[in-house]
Structure 1
Amino acid sequence: MSPRPPSALRERRLLGGWSQDQLARQVGVSRQALNALERGHAQPSVETALALAAVLGTSVEALFGRSHPAPLALPTRVGPAGTRLLLAEVAGRVRGHPLDPSSGEPADALVEHPRRPPTLLETERWRRTLLVAGCDPALRMLAVRSGNARWINAGTGKAVELLVRRQVHVVGVHSLTERDRRRVRGTLLVHLATWPLGLAVRRGNPRSIHGVADLARPGVRLVNRESGASARALLDRLLADVGVPPAMVSGYADEVHGHEAVAQAVALGAADVGVTTQAAAAAYGLELRQLSEESFNLVIRPDELARPEVQGLLAVARTPAFHRDVGALPGYGTSRSGQPVGLT
């Protein structure tokens, strides 16, 4: 017997800001039973259907009367054979993002022939997947807590590119360049967290690095972020302020992706210093010489704002559990998490 199509229950739940556990307790069923109803793997009893409709403020027909969704063309030429893909529907098209083999993330599809559409491993789950891209671990924590979002690790410049090309639904950014600010004009900013950004050095600061001017000294080696990353843009501005050209900084061309990768390179001795977050520095036993206080914001296109999954994501960002969880990271502030900042 083929499975029933997924119900509208998940969308209604997210729109109302309910977690699966909360809603299950409210109507007197287990979380596993509610999950099966959402995925279309089970049918509700009359009593359960009526209780769900009453709690969510809708009708039984609206929750469970959905027909099969229209088929969508899968992407092609997204990687060589063996590539594992993360799929999502964005702006009416299916987007495929190759997964890092070491990520441990489950795939939605597998490329078996590079010129043919990939083979689906999950037939329906990806249709309601919300793709979020950004460089901060708070964004991954938000995605996991929302229950149906997947995180793509990307620096601010790359994240903006993905949003503009309609490859993802939501991105997280900090310190937008003027070019990127123009590219996302008219979008909504929602605050997620604040955190310090600075120069990470090994314990005891053996190279006596106290500011960006010290990066030009002989014997000091930098590990840099990729072009387009906000941490790199900050470093470039501060180097210009003190009159140090990038060519005078050893290791300026040595690029890694992500705050954690910077901290790891310094901790392993591959570099003496790099710009990263306090949380990443602390995770690798490093000291931080603060350069700025960064505000990390979600960027949402107006036409995605009414999407139930987006509303669910924003609802999670406002919960005390999220505030306390992220606030426990070194240097993070969450007093304004989930609050609109305004239009770009």
Structure 2
Amino acid sequence: MTQDKSYTTEEIANLLRISKLTVYDLIKKGELPAYRVGRQMRVDAADLEAYKARAKGAYSRQPSYMVPPVPQEQPPAMTRNIIISGQDVSLDLLANELEKQEDSFRALRSYVGSINSLIAMYRGEADVVSTHLYDGDTEEYNVPYVRRLLSGHSYLMVNLVSRWAGFYVQKGNPRKLGSWEDLKKPGIIMVNREKGSGARTLIEEKLRQHRITGREILGYDREEKNHLAVAGAVARLEADVGVGIEKASLMVGVDFIPLIRERYDLVIMKKKENELLIHSIREILSSTSFRQALEAIGGYDLTHTGEVMYETP
């Protein structure tokens, strides 16, 4: 039956021909009722039809003698949807802890890369974004990019974790890959990350530093959307090398060559309505339970977790 059917946010985006971020914005504003099933947000078919009818102005044309529809379950009036954008599993833990700690927040996840996350924040489509963007000119992570992309805004940047980034190579490293210059070895096949991701930015900056162009590397045009997919391509012998974080190599079963310790930071806009959000997140980052959960996953350096890395006046 129609009333029993529900849709994922991706299906809603396809049906309405809008982006997933627009769907999240409708949910955030309370215009499209949604509920969580595991890590996934779902929208009932009846609520979707009601939203479409409102958008067309249909409700204003209903005769007064009609029986009103049965009210759908709504989140509490004071509940605020918080969109946390980024791909690392540590963000899923953060989302869960935020809902446990503060009843007035409902944490929604958006799994997009660092640059697209910052662009979404600039547009008002994300509340907490993660970023691990390496700048080759300053040898610094995140601050140069955030200052450019969020120019004119007031924000706080706090460290979530640090982690190793490097090469995924086949077991035993048969091609003897250990440095960025090795990508120029004859016959080396690479698998790349998508444009806008932190890993892709690292690759482009390091190649620029070493005066290597993408067209010199076989497979440079092949793009995957996450670390596991890159490591998986290497494991299946479809490529000799890919770039990502250590954790994915352990999950897939390829060797990992560490090259750089990257800083994975959170960015939150400094505005009055975010005061409780900032306070809650900083409390979570400093809590023993959250740190223990991160340590259980493995692969993270928590030395600077919770530390403010940059803050505008």
Q: TM-score, normalised by structure 2?
A: 0.72
Unaligned runs of 5+ in 2: 1-11, 56-70, 100-105, 134-141
Residue 157 of structure 1 aligns to a residue in which SS? Answer: helix
Deviates more, 1:307-316 or 1:118-127: 118-127
Change (3 A) 1:163 1:109: farther
CA contact (8 A) 1:109 1:122 kept: no
Match of 2:257 in 1: 289
Provide the C-alpha distance between the structure 1 equivalents of 2:41 and 2:187, rounded to a whole number of angstroms: 43
Q: Distance in 2 between matches of 1:218 and 1:122?
A: 61
| Cα deviation 1:24-74 (Å, max 9, x = unaligned) | xxxxxxxxxxxxxxxxxxxxxxxxxxxxxxxxxxxxxxxxxxxxxxxxxxx
The reply on whether 1:136 has 2:71 as its aligned counterpart is no
Q: Hey, what does 1:116 align to over in structure 2? A: 52
Match of 2:169 in 1: 201
Deviations along 1:229-255, one digit per CA (max 9) or x if unpaired, are 121111112212222211011111111
Kindly state the Cα deviation for residue 217 of structure 1 after the two structures are TM-superposed.
Answer: 2.5
Instruction: Please give the per-residue CA displacement for 1:54-112, whole angstroms capped at 9, x wherever unaligned.
Output: xxxxxxxxxxxxxxxxxxxxxxx94316999786569x84588x9xxxx9613145585
1:1-344 to structure 2, matched below 5 A, reads 78-80=13-15, 93=29, 105-108=40-43, 116=52, 123-124=74-75, 127-147=79-99, 148-175=106-133, 176=142, 178=144, 180-185=146-151, 186-303=154-271, 306-343=274-311
Change over 3 Å in CA distance of 1:331–1:235 after alignment to 2: same
Letter in 1 for 2:192: N
Tell me the CA shift for residue 275 of structure 1.
0.9
Give the secondary structure class of the aligned counterpart of 1:79.
Answer: helix
Q: Is the 8 A contact 1:163 1:171 kept in 2?
A: yes
Give the CA deviation at 1:194. 0.5
Conserved in 1, the CA contact under 8 Å of 2:158 and 2:307? yes
Structure 1 residues 327 and 274: CA distance shift in structure 2, 3 A: same
CA–CA separation in structure 2 for the residues paired with 1:95 and 1:252: 43
Aligned residues: 264
The question of whether the paired residues in 1 share the 8 Å contact of 2:13 and 2:19 is answered with no
Shift of 1:304: 6.0
**Residue identity opposite 1:171 in structure 2:** V
Q: Retained in 1: the 8 A contact 2:161–2:304?
A: yes
Partners of 1:207 and 1:336 lie apart in 2 by 35
SS in 2 for 1:172: strand
Structure 2 match to 1:37 = none
Q: Percent identity?
A: 25
AA aligned opposite 2:149? R
The SS at the match of 2:195 is: coil
Confirm or deny: 8 A CA contact 2:189 2:240 kept in the other structure. Answer: yes
Instruction: Tell me which amino acid in the other structure corresponds to 2:40.
Output: E
Give the structure 2 partner of residue 27 of structure 1. none
**Equivalent residue letter for 1:182:** R
Task: Give secondary structure in 2 for the equivalent of 1:188.
Answer: strand
The 2-side partners of 1:198 and 1:322 are apart by 26
- Flag the 1:145–1:284 CA change in 2: closer, same or farther, 3 A: same
Which of 79-88 and 308-317 deviates more? 79-88
- Residues 134 and 152, structure 1, Cα contact 8 Å, conserved in 2: yes
Q: Describe the SS at the equivalent of 2:297.
A: coil
Q: Distance in 2 between matches of 1:118 and 1:290?
A: 54
CA–CA separation in structure 2 for the residues paired with 1:95 and 1:140: 25
- Once superposed, what is the RMSD of the aligned Cα atoms? 3.6
